[in-house]
Amino acid sequence: MATMESLIGLVNRIQQACTVLGDHGGEGSLWEALPSVAVVGGQSSGKSSVLESVVGRDFLPRGSGIVTRRPLVLQLHKTDDGKAEYAEFLHAPRKKFSDFATVRKEIQDETDRITGKSKHISNIPIHLSIYSPNVVNLTLVDLPGLTKVAVEGQPDSIVEDIENMVRSYVDKPNSIILAISPANQDIATSDAIKIARQVDPSGDRTFGVLTKLDLMDKGTNAQDVLEGRSYRLQHPWVGIVNRSQADINKNVDMIDARRKEMEYFQNSSDYSHLAHKMGSEYLAKLLSQHLETVIRQRIPSIIALINKTIDELNAELDYLGRPIGSEGGAQLYTILDMCRAFDRVFREHLDGGRPGGDRIYGVFDNQLPAALKKLPFDRHLSLQNVRKVISEADGYQPHLIAPEQGYRRLIDSSLGYFKGPAEASVDAVHLVLKDLVRKSIGETELIIFYNC
């Protein structure tokens, strides 16, 4: 078990580092090479309830329409029995959330921070780590629910936007697909199975989950699906019985809900023979074991990509110049923070938050127009001079209409007058920018390097 913890935990830390560095899974990126479990399902398929059952806590926002509007990278860490449960967000380091109602609010607030309070979506993930004795070591990526039509407040492209986001995760060869479908709908119309079939036709990477088994019409069951006859996958289908809305309203404990779920399968005449491989606890263990297996298989390629990335960064450091001192990593982060502070102060000078940008405006609003007004255009474009230039452009043949070459000479010579004022304006702006750079350095910690 210790090996599994270290492997999945290591991948978790690499994923977090990728996110901090702005790597959200582009082609050829390290994130793309890391195995992950992408949770896919249509709206109202029970996707959120499955995740909460796996975690054993209510922590996801609920509501109608698109509730999940950013990918949620959910990293589960199993702790020793008796230890308190808590959660941490990558965007709020060193802050522990022991109340999972506040976790739900933080997910909503962080989503709104990027997307606003609209119904738009964003591909920038939220990283949430949960530490609990009631979970297995596992990493899941909760994605927006697939939908068929846009509703009020959503852009017309929302259906395609969500599908493209889901595809960006499930297309990856290292992605494990958790396809969630409701049992009270025909499996042939399942949104999750449809997209899984397209990207993983052999079913090698797909785990099928069937929810809402207890809501099927009396006299019907889902044995054909769970036993792999309706749609065959290389991995077993898992049935889930989520809490009812009444249980949710009553705040029924999730651990009790897990127990009731197992009692349902054990006492069911339709599913008792499958009870040993049904339920959210079994699903979590199955995914954890498979994720470890996939990580083991991908270790050589992950190491190769990490080494390649290190070589590229070392080459860039050699080009930029190595930091002085033995603690290079810490110094690099310190300098980056200083540079970010400088960038913020310099922008404030330019944009008007601090004085300085108005001087650039003055160059173009006062200095340049004043210089242009002094140019001798009255003499250069006088009737006498225009006639002279046009006449000289004739050569030895008289013209029927004004010759083009004469106009070109007038234009070229006129443009020449602009060169002096234009260059003077550029020099003036350059001096202002240099002065603002000096001021911005003086107002940040970079000043300690500037005087060296």
N-term to C-term CA, the chain:
53
**308 Cβ partners below 8 Å, 6+ apart?**
none
List, for residues 311-364, the tens digit of each pLDDT value. 887 887 776 555 545 555 666 777 787 888 888 899 888 887 788 888 998 898
Name the residue among 271, 259, 172 with its Cα closest to residue 216.
271
Name the residue among 174, 181, 154 with its Cα closest to residue 43.
181
**186 Cβ partners below 8 Å, 6+ apart?**
none
Mean pLDDT of 235-264: 85
**Which 3 state secondary structure label does DSSP give 255?**
helix
List, for residues 116-164, the tens digit of each pLDDT value. 777 778 888 899 999 999 898 898 999 998 888 777 667 778 889 999 9
For the ranges 307-311, 314-318, 414-418, which has the lowest average pLDDT? Answer: 314-318
- Report all structural domains of the chain as residue ranges with CATH numbers, in order of start: 2-298 (3.40.50.300), 328-450 (no CATH)
Burial 100-111 (b: 16+ CB within 10 A, else e): beebbebbbebb
Residue 396: predicted pLDDT: 61
List, for residues 81-129, the tens digit of each pLDDT value. 888 899 999 888 889 999 999 999 999 999 988 887 777 788 888 999 9
CB 426: neighbour CB atoms within 10 A?
Answer: 12
Residue 451: predicted pLDDT: 55
Name the residue among 59, 12, 5 with its Cα closest to residue 31.
12
For the ranges 260-269, 366-375, 394-403, which has the lowest average pLDDT? Answer: 394-403
Provide the greatest CA pair distance for the chain: 111
**104 Cβ partners below 8 Å, 6+ apart?**
58, 59, 60, 61
